[in-house]
Structure 1
Amino acid sequence: MARIDETDRKILIELQRDASQSLDDIAKAVGSSKTPVWTRIRKLREAGVIGAQTVELDAEALGFEACFFVLIRTSEHEADWQARFLKALRERPEVQEAHRLAGDIDYILKVRVKNARAYDAFYQALISEVKVHNVTALLSMEEIKSTTALPL
């Protein structure tokens, strides 16, 4: 785990809020000057604390109106099956998140598609590639909160 101090924490909060803001704006917000802030950001990147910077897109504005949470149970736990399953997930851009779980459900996926018909095409393609025991798809009716920000 990387050691971060209060100034690093403030910089990270600002970057999570809006990574497109200028170094001058970040420095002003954290009570520092531009060069030390740039140096800290570089060190945080090198330490792996800061990953790739991306742009947040509005899924609905782009026509991706359906978000499904897909619960998967499998009776397969061999390394070969897992490798094929992970490959299938990584190759599908519809899968925004995938988690292996403890408990009754083995995996949960967050799948973003244009509509129910597009989800069915995703589902049919997935089950044609890997054997699963049981799949339950839950349609999100409303996104109440979504963030990638960590509670620093």
Structure 2
Amino acid sequence: MPVQIDALDRKILGALQEDASRSLEEIARVVGSSKTPVWTRIRKLREAGVIGRQTVLLDAEALGLEACFFVLIRTSEHEAEWQSRFLETLRAHPEVMEAHRLAGDIDYILKVRVPNARAYDRFYQALISEVKIHNVTALLSMEEIKASPLLPLESEL
């Protein structure tokens, strides 16, 4: 069940999404409040699970991870043991940035970041050697047009 948040909570969340490294004083100034209520709300939002861990965003291309593949997976395996092994395999591969289980003809989609096609092939070979997969289709992203970790906060959550 979604947590009830008000307009000030939304402003605080928006400020944190833009730059979580800002001081509490700066966030309070940006949202038009004082430090103590902002700190209290941030603490409550963390406790409620609305705010998760904090991290930094890195530039994949600057780090040499120039190839982004979307990997479509079909499987004939749907037993709990296979799913557990598949999840364990994905977690063991840091190049898997995202993994989603889908409804429809495709069972899973992965977002994989690697330096090049050769590195993707090494990932692919490891994946199919670790879990039984019926069909794998890899799509190379030619250009990232939009990517954002920011959630829309204008609408009701």
Instruction: Report the Cα offset of residue 25 of structure 1.
Output: 1.2
Gap runs ≥5 in structure 1: none
2:25 is aligned to 24
Gap runs ≥5 in structure 2: none
Instruction: Report the Cα offset of residue 144 of structure 1.
Output: 0.7
1:139 is aligned to 140
Deviations 1:112-144 (A, max 9, x none): 001100000000000001011110000001111
2:62 is aligned to 61
Which one-letter code corresponds to 2:106 in the other structure? Answer: I
1:100 is aligned to 101
Q: Indicate whether 1:112 and 2:113 are aligned.
A: yes
Q: Deviation above 6 Å: which 4+ runs of structure 1?
A: none
* In structure 1, distance between residues paired with 2:149 and 2:64: 22
Which one-letter code corresponds to 2:147 in the other structure? Answer: S
* In structure 1, distance between residues paired with 2:61 and 2:79: 38
1:3 is aligned to 4
Question: How many residues get paired?
Answer: 152
Q: Indicate whether 1:72 and 2:69 are aligned.
A: no
- The RMSD of aligned alpha carbons is 0.6
Residue 22 of structure 2 aligns to a residue whose secondary structure is coil
* In structure 2, distance between residues paired with 1:23 and 1:144: 33
- TM-score, normalising length: structure 1: 0.99
- TM-score, normalising length: structure 2: 0.95
Question: Residues 41-52 of structure 1 correspond to what in structure 2 (within 5 A)?
Answer: 41-52=42-53
Residue 78 of structure 2 aligns to a residue whose secondary structure is coil
